[in-house]
Amino acid sequence: MNDHEFDDNLFDERLTEGKIDTSSVETAVTRILRAIGEDPARDGLQRTPERVARMYAELLSGYYADPYSVVNGAIFEVQYDEMVLVRDIEFYSLCEHHMLPFLGRVHVAYLPDGKILGLSKIPRIVDLFARRLQVQERMTRQIADFIRDLLHPKGVGVVVEALHLCMSMRGVQKHNARMTTSAMHGAFRANLATRQEFLENIARGASPLQV
């Protein structure tokens, strides 16, 4: 599989040619305001549909980005075979079930096999997959799969810790519940010592996840 054959079910090449239809979003928000009994013409709400449309254009920008363009060739041949770990990458996403935010941090590690990735590109990859309507499990897997297919390393490990507002604001209203997901490839899945080193590194000095 070469770089441009990466299989991402959510990424549609056609989306890179367009943008979010902000006019339709504004119309929909205006209808929602009326449906809940508000007056879209009152002072505080006159520009709310426009603001919401701009917000979605930003928060869902991952639909319109090619992951390989984000990397922008920042792959370097380096003879280094120890673990590379970037921890505590903040992210914000929208749950696809209620379109409410979930937020937290991502820890990404890989074992290079002759290639390393520019440091700033890992948070950019996280943001790209976070800025879509998501479920945490899928996002975790997408990040790990992309780095695996991009670098062909000896192994990749991704752990995501998040607070879901759809669970704390509504429904069961459990304000302190956190969700942790992981995706492991190669040595991180096959080698207990490698996986343990990764998990111990992200646990060391970790502070409680806060909003």
Catalytic residues: 95-98, 136, 164, 166
DSSP letter for each residue of 25-81 = HHHHHHHHHHHTT--TTSGGGTTHHHHHHHHHHHHTGGGG--HHHHHTT-EEE----
Q: Exposed (0-12), middle (13-18) or buried (19+): which is 34, by Cβ within 10 Å? A: exposed
Q: Which residues contact 144 (CB under 8 A, 6 or more apart)?
A: 156, 157, 158, 183, 184, 185
